[in-house]
């Protein structure tokens, strides 16, 4: 005797089967707090991190539903303790008044609690594991693909190191803002109803470095020659990959996460009577300037109005 169930769309793709587990709506994660936001300076419009939780024994797939579609969003971290899942979501800008919503989806067998007596339930051959249950709003993906952000995050292009500046030069001449640096993929649907799921894996630290120098002449009676002075001013900026939905497009870009400044100034001995060398320094970068995990990531688009 044969058994099982399969539903196949017009493209020949399996939509429902007794072997493939579909994702179903678990609920919205609860917003617990935010970090107060911060303005990253150097041309950035800042960022804020919202923290959410939801309880489930399964591993949830998260969709972000923006409240403000002009802002960039991404899931920074996802962790679990017992059955409580915690999500940190980074959003561009510093306003805490319009946090996004997080829609969470799990496999059918991890859903429970419905009182509905009507619908379609598909079981695996073991007779106990549900692969599909229409009572729990199965995930319907309306669009998707792969996308990567622009290879250089800052509006002024990738910052450089230059020399020939005066000693102790410390004037920033680079825009680290990233609002214009993104790639786009066409999508359909009423964009204010749409939500997305996409991993934020790419991150990078970039620096603008200016090398200063001067040579102070040493009088002949102090030995003559040149007393060299060096300085290094360095502004660094850390980015994380972020995403945005707008009318007709899904964008992959960058969100400024943190920034800082370091400076050093040194000079050699001034000769027989000119005193010894010296200098000072302040600040440091979190790690060497580089980009990691830069690759095209899969993304999915769905209509949030299906899930209340």
For residue range 52-91, what is the model confidence (pLDDT) as tens digits?
A: 999 999 999 999 999 999 999 999 999 999 999 999 999 9
CA dist., res. 34 & res. 97, Å (int): 11
pLDDT band, residue 143 (cuts 50/70/90): very high
The fraction of the chain above a pLDDT of 90, given in percent, is: 68
Residue 60 phi, psi dihedral angles, 5° rounding: -80, 145
What is the phi-psi region of residue 36: left when phi exceeds 0, alpha when psi lies from -120 to 50, beta otherwise? left
CA quadruple 246, 248, 252, 254: dihedral sign:
negative
Q: Tell me which residue of 213, 304, 225 sits closest to 264, measured CA to CA.
A: 213
Query: Is the predicted pLDDT of residue 159 greater than 90, yes or no?
Result: yes
Quote the pLDDT of residue 220. Answer: 66
CB-based contact 229:167 (threshold 8 Å): yes
In this predicted structure, what is the pLDDT of residue 260? 92
Over range 91-100, report the average pLDDT. Answer: 94
Give the Cα separation of 95 and 93 in Å (integer). Answer: 6
- Phi first, then psi: give them for residue 265, nearest 5 degrees: -145, 125
> What predicted TM-score, i.e. pTM, was given to this entire model?
0.87
Instruction: Return the number of other C-beta atoms located less than 10 Å from residue 80's C-beta.
Output: 14
* Domain residue spans of the chain: 13-144, 150-192+199-294
Write the pLDDT tens digit of every residue in 234-285.
999 999 999 999 999 999 999 999 999 999 999 886 554 455 678 888 988 8
């Amino acid at each position: 005797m044969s058994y099982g169930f399969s539903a196949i769309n017009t493209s020949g793709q399996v939509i429902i089967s007794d072997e493939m587990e579909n994702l179903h709506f678990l609920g919205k994660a609860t917003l617990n707090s935010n970090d107060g936001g911060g303005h990253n300076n150097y041309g950035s419009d800042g960022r804020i991190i919202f923290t959410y939780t939801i309880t489930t024994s399964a591993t949830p797939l998260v969709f972000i539903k923006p409240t403000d579609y002009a802002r960039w969003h991404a899931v920074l971290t996802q962790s679990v303790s017992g059955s409580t899942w915690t999500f940190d979501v980074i959003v561009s800008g510093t306003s805490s008044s319009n946090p996004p919503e997080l829609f969470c989806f799990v496999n059918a067998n991890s859903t429970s609690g419905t009182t509905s007596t009507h619908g379609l339930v598909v079981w695996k051959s073991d007779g106990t594991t549900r692969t599909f249950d229409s009572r729990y709003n199965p995930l319907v993906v309306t669009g998707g693909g792969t996308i990567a952000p622009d290879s250089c995050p800052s509006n002024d292009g990738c910052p450089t190191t230059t020399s020939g500046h005066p000693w102790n030069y410390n004037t920033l001449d680079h825009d680290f803002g990233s609002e214009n640096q993104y790639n786009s993929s066409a999508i359909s649907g009423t964009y204010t109803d749409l939500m997305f799921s996409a991993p934020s894996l790419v991150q990078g630290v970039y620096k603008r470095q200016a090398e200063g120098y001067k040579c102070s002449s040493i009088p002949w009676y102090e030995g003559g020659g040149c007393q060299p002075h060096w300085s290094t001013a360095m502004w660094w900026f850390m980015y994380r990959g972020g995403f945005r939905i707008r009318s007709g497009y899904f964008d992959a870009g960058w969100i400024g996460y943190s920034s800082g400044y370091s400076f050093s100034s040194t000079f050699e001995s001034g000769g027989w009577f000119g005193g010894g060398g010296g200098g000072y320094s302040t600040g440091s970068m979190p790690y060497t300037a580089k980009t990691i995990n830069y690759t095209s990531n899969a993304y999915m688009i769905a209509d949030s109005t299906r899930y209340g």
